[in-house]
Amino acid sequence: LGVVLLMGDGGYGSGVIISTKGYVLTNNHVVEDNENLEVILSYHYNLDRYEEYAHSIEIIKQDKVKDLALIKIIKPRTALRPIKISRNIPAIGSQVHAIGHPDLEVWTFTTGYISQIRDEYEWSYKDDFEHIANVYQTQTPIAEGNSGGPLLNNYGNLIGINTFGDSENDFQNFSVTVDEIIRFLIN
């Protein structure tokens, strides 16, 4: 499973393993100002014993505007299984899947459809910083803890990073698109 749990003093979120060398893609708001951040790799355990599965990380790259971050797991103690990044933009109406940790209900799977693709969409969080990126609007449920996790196509390939949901409307959830991810990784 290529999805990790990220936990630190400032909160928790999700991440996607994209390389056997330990690179993990997530949202910037999951890692920014989150002291003592660790990656937890396994899901076959009781959360009371999570320390046995925790790994230190290094932040490699951040884009606050697009809300993306690349981190690296330091000395993983197990083989990593990355999720392949698709280069194809899915069509509106495509079925999509999310894996994350909503409200610390770890490794939760949800499914839905792409409702719309919104170019240069603007949003902000509690800090009022304006983010702008191409996003998918989906009806795939995204709650606190899903941030930074994968939006997957039917082949299990990464097509987006789950970023935020509208707490007043369950059918308006947003993920940064794969074209933004690829630009972030290669620049």
CB-CB neighbours of 22 under 10 Å:
19
Round to whole Å and give the CA distance between 95 and 139.
Answer: 10
Tell me the β-bridge partners of 39: 6, 55
Contact by Cβ (8 Å): 48, 40: no
Round to whole Å and give the CA distance between 122 and 147.
Answer: 17
29 is catalytic: yes
Which residue among 14, 29, 55, 131 is the active-site one? 29
147 is catalytic: yes
Which tokens in the block code for residue 143?
């709650």
Which residue among 14, 86, 147, 175 is the active-site one? 147
Which tokens in the block code for residue 58?
């290094």
Which residue among 14, 55, 67, 101 is the active-site one? 67
Catalytic residues: 29, 67, 147
